[in-house]
């Protein structure tokens, strides 16, 4: 299987669709519906990229991104923020590992293109 992506999204229908699209594109995918649980899932799964919603139960996406940026083990994982709230984009401008910000609903081609670009920034480990 391909590179590892963690989807952190509390909308289960969108989560299922996103997982289906990414697995169809050859990625190894894990999912999480809670920002607080995402920290444990990241430690266990060790994703190479995170797709992150903003409004989440537990820890919100912005706080989670800031926490990941502080930790040596996670500070280099690229994050693609996917939100239905376009105005939240400004919050993430100071977080260096944000590779893209996408609005919901996203288009499959745009999602896959942003993932490809994020992986170009962080090449696959040897």
Domain ranges of the chain: 4-121
Q: How far apart are CA 32 and CA 14, in angstroms?
A: 12
CATH level 3 topology of 4-121: Rossmann fold (3.40.50)
pLDDT at 49: 97
What's the pTM value of the predicted model, to 2 decimals?
A: 0.92
Report pLDDT digits (tens) over 66-118. 999 999 999 999 999 999 877 777 778 878 899 999 999 899 999 999 999 99
| CA-to-CA dists, residue 69 to 19, 54, 66, 98, 105, angstroms | 24, 16, 5, 10, 26
Q: How far apart are CA 24 and CA 1, in angstroms?
A: 11
pLDDT at 88: 75
Give, to the nearest 10 degrees, the angle between helix 108-121 and helix 12-24. 70
């Amino acid at each position: 299987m391909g590179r590892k992506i963690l989807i952190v999204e509390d909308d289960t229908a969108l989560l299922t669709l996103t997982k289906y699209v990414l697995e169809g594109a050859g990625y190894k995918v894990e999912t999480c519906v809670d920002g607080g649980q995402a920290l444990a899932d990241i430690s266990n799964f060790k994703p190479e990229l995170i797709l992150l919603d903003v409004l989440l139960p537990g820890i919100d996406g912005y706080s989670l991104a800031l926490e990941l940026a502080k930790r040596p083990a996670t500070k280099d994982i690229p994050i693609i923020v996917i939100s239905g709230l376009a105005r939240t984009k400004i919050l993430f401008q100071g977080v260096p590992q944000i590779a893209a910000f996408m609005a919901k609903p996203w288009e499959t081609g745009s999602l896959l293109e942003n993932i490809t670009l994020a992986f170009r920034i962080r090449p696959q480990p040897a």
